[in-house]
Structure 1
Amino acid sequence: MKHIARKRFGQHFLSDAGVIDAIVRAIGPQHGEPMVEIGPGLAALTQPLVERLGQLTVIELDRDLAQRLRNRPQLHVVESDVLKVDFTALAPAGQRLRVVGNLPYNISTPILFHLLDHVDAIQDQHFMLQKEVVDRMVAAPSTAAYGRLSVMLQWRYAMENVLFVGPESFDPPPRVDSAVVRMEPLAQAPVLDAALLSELVQVAFSQRRKLLRHALGRWLEARQFAGPFDLQRRAEEVPVAEFVALAQAL
């Protein structure tokens, strides 16, 4: 029986064999590696992955799809909202997870931030996302795409856009272009208060067209910060390293 894509789950099933093969090659799965796939759907990517891995953990919210997936003995099916999954607990002792998936576009950013909380348990991540989101993730300072998402991921990951995917590669086709991003946690991550950095960056980009002295200046003044930091520029002009240094100085 054909599964009908459910709009409330943001379901767009990958159906292009050439694209699937390209994604698998980009991931490079090796037998025995601990890997988790988010949103396996109709198992288009799941099947070639598990053939190479031997076993695979999949996270699926859709009850009907989860039931289908349980018929495959090589799969460990976690039927859950991915935002409630403890990825650290899924990692085998002494090993880090590889995480992959065609993420639901309507909650992709919350998923990325949820995984950030478990980054120490993760080896790498390969995700299909809306191309616009990937552009923002990998954006350089002083570009239109550079913003809060860029800073909050780049301080912790090295990222690369590895594949463009058009709407025709999905069933049903989304109304946007897609891309696959590779995310590798930095080996030497800066030591800082991540919650403080998040608040700082959110304030800085809250009025992105104005100079930082307006919103961020008042925020720093309230914290009695008197150190060197150029507020006569816009948030999009500040490199990730400077946001990190400011968070460390506070």
Structure 2
Amino acid sequence: MSESHIPRKRFGQHFLHETAIIERMVAAIAPRPGEALVEIGPGLGALTAPLLERCRVLHVVELDRDVIPPLVERCQGLGELRVHQADALRFDFATLAPEGGQLRVVGNLPYNISTPLIFHLLKSAPRIRDMHFLLQKEVVDRLAAAPNTRDYGRLSVMTQYHCRAEALFRVGPGAFRPPPKVDSAYVRLTPWETLPHPAADEALFASLVNQAFTQRRKTLRNAVRGMADADTIEAAGLDPAARPETLSVAQFVALANRIHALRSELA
């Protein structure tokens, strides 16, 4: 590995180096030849090299052009590395999925873009088989949180609408160079083959969830004012006095679908 590259703060770079953690991550992914696999933010290739050895063809999306030459050099002879020098927040991941098949996504994600990047990837969820990410532990806690808990919020609801979220294991700061100031955790997100609670209008559902958690300490009646009144909330089988953080994904969908039905009747 090139030790001469100085991790860049503006890219949120913390390079993984602990072999035991890398082996656990690869084992959780269990890559096989012939699978369409993309790694986001490969950096200097600590995870890239063992993945490429196993899957033989690997796409990587990397913003920092300075790490690409040492990355390519490290992966020489291990397989076919397809480098996309691009901003992952703007990259169309669905284009990497094979026709009639699905993409697998992995990465040690920069903390400063992890949440918007997950929302970006959820747009392509039907084309994705699974995602394995090393993230700030606080973010993983939010992804996998249950209703009526401190960590439950917009990220929890929107992720769990599209995916099954499983926190796999914790990773300490010492596994990285430079060490971050927080703990990390490894998470698996598996998009549902069939949505368990489909929204009639996903944009309306997303807007409802966003507004509800903007004012999460208010009652549901007040938090979604302008989108649904007390009668509409009750017609969806919910208590207008409940707090948004107590609602399950299914309950948010039920309310969104009730709003959609009322708007359709008025149209």
- The TM-score range, normalised by the shorter chain, is over 0.9
Cα separation, 2, equivalents of 1:208 and 1:156: 21
- Aligned runs of 1:158-173 on 2, under 5 Å? 158-173=164-179
Q: For residues 227 and 67 of structure 1, what CA distance do their matches in structure 2 show?
A: 59
**Residue 105 of structure 2 is aligned to residue 99 of structure 1:** yes
SS at match of 1:181: strand
- 3-state secondary structure, aligned to 1:155: helix
Which secondary structure does the structure 2 equivalent of 1:109 belong to? Answer: helix
Pair 1:42 & 2:44 matched:
yes
Contact 1:69 1:75 (8 Å CA) reproduced: no
Q: What residue in structure 2 maps to residue 33 of structure 1?
A: 35
Tell me the amino acid that sits aligned with residue 9 of structure 1: F
Distance 2:116 2:141 in 1: 17
Tell me the CA shift for residue 210 of structure 1.
1.6
Letter in 2 for 1:142: N
Is 2:137 aligned against 1:131?
yes
> Matches of 1:147 and 1:104 in 2, distance apart?
21
Q: Equivalences for 1:46-57 in 2 at 5 Å?
A: 46-57=48-59
Map of 1:232 onto structure 2: 241
Structure 1 window deviating more from structure 2 (183-192 vs 26-35): it is 183-192
Query: Using the alignment, how far apart are the partners of 1:68 and 1:55 within structure 2?
Result: 18
Contact 1:69 1:77 in 2 (8 A): no
CA distance in 1 between counterparts of 2:131 and 2:177 reads 24
Deviation track 1:95-120 (CA, whole Å, cap 9, x = no partner) reads 10000000010010110000011111
Aligned residue among 256, 263, 267 for 1:247: 256
Structure 1: stretches of 5+ with no match in the other structure: none
Task: Tell me what 2:148 maps to.
Answer: 142
**Rounded Cα–Cα distance in structure 2 between residues aligned with 1:242 and 1:5:** 44
Question: 1:69: Cα distance to partner?
Answer: 3.0
CA displacement at 1:202 relative to structure 2: 1.1
Cα distance, 1:225 vs structure 2: 7.2
Give 1:1-250 correspondences, 5 Å limit.
Answer: 2-71=4-73, 72=75, 74-189=80-195, 190-192=197-199, 193-221=201-229, 227-228=235-236, 229-250=238-259
- In the superposition, the TM-score normalised over structure 2's length comes to 0.89
**Deviation of 1:244 (Å):** 1.2
Contact kept, 8 Å, 2:173 with 2:182, in 1: the verdict is yes
Q: For 2:89 and 2:214, how far apart are their aligned partners in 1?
A: 25
Superposition deviation, residue 215 in structure 1? 2.3
Q: Please give the alpha-carbon distance, in whole angstroms, between the structure 1 residues aligned to 2:212 and 2:83.
A: 41
Q: CA contact under 8 A between 1:217 and 1:231: conserved in structure 2? A: no
Change (3 A) 1:163 1:144: same
> Identical aligned pairs, as a percentage?
53
Shift of 1:194: 1.9
- The answer as to whether partners of 1:164 and 1:178 remain within 8 angstroms in 2 is yes
TM-score, length-scaled by structure 1: 0.95
Structure-2 separation of matches of 1:67 and 1:18 = 26
Query: How many angstroms apart in 2 are the aligned matches of 1:95 and 1:84?
Result: 22
Conservation of the 8 A alpha-carbon contact between 2:233 and 2:240: no
The one-character-per-residue Cα deviations of 1:133-179 (angstroms, maximum 9, x if unpaired) are: 00011000110011111001101100100010000000000000000
2:7 is paired with a residue of what secondary structure? coil
**2:263 corresponds to:** none
Equivalent pairs, count:
250
Distance 2:233 2:140 in 1: 34
Q: Kindly report the root-mean-square deviation, in angstroms, between the aligned alpha carbons of the 2 structures.
A: 1.8
Separation in 2 of the partners of 1:215 and 1:160? Answer: 29
